[in-house]
Structure 1
Amino acid sequence: MSALINKKYLPFFATVFVFVAIFLIGGGMYNNFLSTRVLGNILADNSFIIIAAIGATFVILSGGIDLSIGSMIGFVGVCMAVLDSMGFDPLTTTILMLIFGFTFGAFQGWVIDALDIQPFIITLAGLFLLRGMCFMVTINSVPITHEWADFYSDIRIDLPGKGRLRSSAIVMLISLAAAIFIAHFTRFGSNVYAIGGDKESARLMGVNIRKTTVLIYATAGFYSALAGVVYALYTKSGYPLAGSTLELSAIAAVVLTGGVGTVAGTLFGGMILGLISTLIIFNGSLNSAWILISSGVLLFVFIVMHRFLVGTFGIKG
């Protein structure tokens, strides 16, 4: 049994290995790279992408896709900033935005199942709808100046070696722990895996497909909205173009786990993307295009590797 489990999660362990390998390579190339300060910065700077990717993990596990992630992040940000300028405190707007994200995601899930429309089409419509709503709220970058935002930014946990876990990283890790519990220790999590394995078989086993689909996209919407909150408080601003193409980064973070559906693997997938960016910044002579090129190469390698593992060990993604 243990051997089978190890084989099933080989892509996950490969993701962890790649992260550690890249981190060590960076340490060999640059002074002070192997430090908790760099690790803490990677977690903080990519926290919103990882949070959004956690929600996307549930969608991809079920065989779907969510393209509205980036637009949700942008919409939440501009709403928080504009409401801040009207006198609302960020804590109140955070609750409102999380409710909105959950409700919007639930609506997308209901339409996908009730009308039997491909998730790609519905969430693409959601992408355009939310991005258009961003520009209806404001066409300018609006700062968040409430003192609560300053208090949030000052929250941190000191790490050995002068590193720090900043507030955004702390929120991300708490969100990750909650998602791991939901995915692996709840009936809903089991149903998500069942639908992703074989939808009709899941239906025959008594899984309520519509209810589960609605909850899957509601969960993704909630995490996307939370990512928007973290991004807005991290940058202390809202901008209608914020979050553009971040849905691709979130999906990439999930795919880098090899498709076996481990929420913890999504953390390392997101950190690999952040680590690549950090290496290029340390280098100083490479432009940002190399971030996309490196990410694309890694995705290609992981997809090929996963197919090889499937053929060699009979692993099911």
Structure 2
Amino acid sequence: MKKRKINTNTYLLMITILLFAVMYIAGMIIFQNKGFAKPQMFLNLFISNAGLLVIAMGQTIVMIAAGIDISVGSVTALVCMVLANQMENHGTNAYVAVVMALAIGIAFGLVQGFLIAYLDIQPFIVTLAGMFFGRGMTSIISTEMISIKNKTFLAWANYKIYLPIGSYSKRGKFIPAYIYPTVVIAIIVLIIIILVMKYTKFGRSVYAVGGNQTSAMMMGLNVKRTKLKAYLLDGFLAGLGGFLFCLNSCSGFVEQAKGLEMDAISSAVIGGTLLSGGVGTPFGTLFGVLIKGTISSLITTQGTLSSWWVRITLSALLCFFIVLQSIFAHVKKNK
């Protein structure tokens, strides 16, 4: 019976998971007196990053297809502003506002996907234009922050789902842990994307196109259509992620979600997605998001460090994993 060899992609995923485990366990030990070891602290990683997780799923798909999308932060800001403006200034029903938010994401995905797939324009240039357009449209709607006071929307945002796990207070009272609906939606999206990428023709086509576009064409795959579908799905997830992001902030303003595109890209890369395409897993991206969330939690719990250390640490990890990917690729090539 032959033993299955562990490939370099699996090694990268194992390193990512190990890094998350080490960071979180270190936090539990160092900040035990500040409640870092409580179940709620772990669940807060999902609560705070539900929107990012959904957006990072879309980013992973386009990166596997050898593309990139740096417009997702601006799309998120635009979605939040549209939601806030429509509900507060125009009295739009919350359900209609959400449909509008998803439509914005799909529109961005459709236009950008068409330009990249059928007009063969570089993804970076197209999505850079999308980034400026999205941020510009956000400021045109309003330069002031709009707080959402819609009762239906706030009910969604504040609804807690209590779990049978939790912790005890100093007086011995059991405090159950909880999550919000945003977490449930994000987990459902994660599971669906994992299944789509692993078991469907579309998922296999994305990997094939990202791995070698010429070979994919020779296999009879419609490369242009696959790229368009990848960006269309990415746009939809950006719209949905923007909605989840808005449920956390309950407001819309111009500077919202600034740098979110880099968080999504770094989460995908740290999770094992290659910038050159053809390699990556949504499951790995999950741990990339959790690592980003853990860094934020550690720095917030520590209390004296600037929030900019989150960006500094994340950029250092991004460089580390890019170098690691390059080393593994070089070793594989020379075997």
With the length of structure 2 as denominator, give the TM-score of the two structures.
0.90
Look up the SS of the partner of 1:46 in the other structure.
helix
In the alignment, which residue of structure 1 is the partner of 2:136? 132
User: Given the alignment, which residue of 25, 30, 40 partners 2:43?
Assistant: 40
* One of 145, 151, 164 as aligned partner of 2:149: 145
Q: CA deviation at 1:312?
A: 4.0
| Aligned match for 2:304, one of 252, 269, 285 | 285
Matched residues in 2 for 1:13 and 1:89: separation?
46
Mapping of residues 144-183 of structure 1, within 5 Å: 144-153=148-157, 154-161=159-166, 162-183=176-197
Q: CA deviation at 1:99?
A: 2.3
Aligned partner of 2:86 in structure 1 is 83
**Structure 2 unpaired stretches of 5+:** 167-175, 274-278
| Distance in 2 (alpha carbons) for counterparts of 1:225 and 1:216 | 14
In structure 2, which of residues 102, 110, 125 is the aligned counterpart of residue 121 of structure 1?
A: 125
* Structure 1 residues 7 and 248: alpha-carbon distance in aligned structure 2, compared to 1, 3 A threshold: closer
Contact 2:13 2:272 in 1 (8 A): yes
Q: Which moved more, 1:79-88 or 1:161-170?
A: 161-170
| Aligned-residue offset at 1:3 | 2.5
**Residue equivalent to 1:59:** 62
How far is 1:5 from its partner?
Answer: 4.9
Q: CA deviation at 1:122?
A: 0.4
Determine the C-alpha separation between the residues in 2 that align with 1:296 and 1:42: 19
Deviation at 1:35, TM superposition (A): 2.2
Distance in 1, Cα, partners of 2:160 & 2:220? 45
1:258 correspondence with 2:262: no
What is the CA-CA distance between 1:186 and the residue it aligns to?
1.0
Q: Distance in 1 between matches of 2:178 and 2:4?
A: 38
Identity %: 32
**1:160 to partner: Cα distance:** 1.1
Question: Distance in 1 between the 2:18 and 2:181 partners?
Answer: 27
Moved more, 304-313 or 294-303: 304-313
RMSD: 1.7
Q: What displacement does 1:28 show?
A: 1.1
**Matches of 2:119 and 2:18, distance apart in 1:** 42
Higher alpha-carbon deviation: 184-193 or 159-168: 159-168
Task: Report the alpha carbon displacement of residue 6 of structure 1 after superposing the two structures with TM.
Answer: 5.3
Q: Is the 8 A contact 1:39 1:163 kept in 2?
A: no
Residue 150 of structure 1 deviates from its aligned partner by 2.3
Between the aligned partners of 1:289 and 1:245, the Cα distance in structure 2 is 12
1:287-312 deviation per Cα after TM superposition (whole angstroms, max 9, x unaligned): 11211221122122222222333344
Q: Which runs of 5+ in 1 are unaligned?
A: none
What residue number does 1:301 align with?
320
Q: How far did 1:7 drift? A: 4.5
Cα separation, 2, equivalents of 1:195 and 1:53:
20
Q: Which amino acid aligns with 1:218?
A: L
- Give me the whole-angstrom Cα distance separating, in 2, the residues matched to 1:24 and 1:225: 34
Give, in angstroms, the shift of residue 147 of structure 1.
Answer: 1.5
Whole-angstrom distance in 1 between the partners of 2:333 and 2:8: 9
Conserved in 2, the CA contact under 8 Å of 1:109 and 1:217? yes
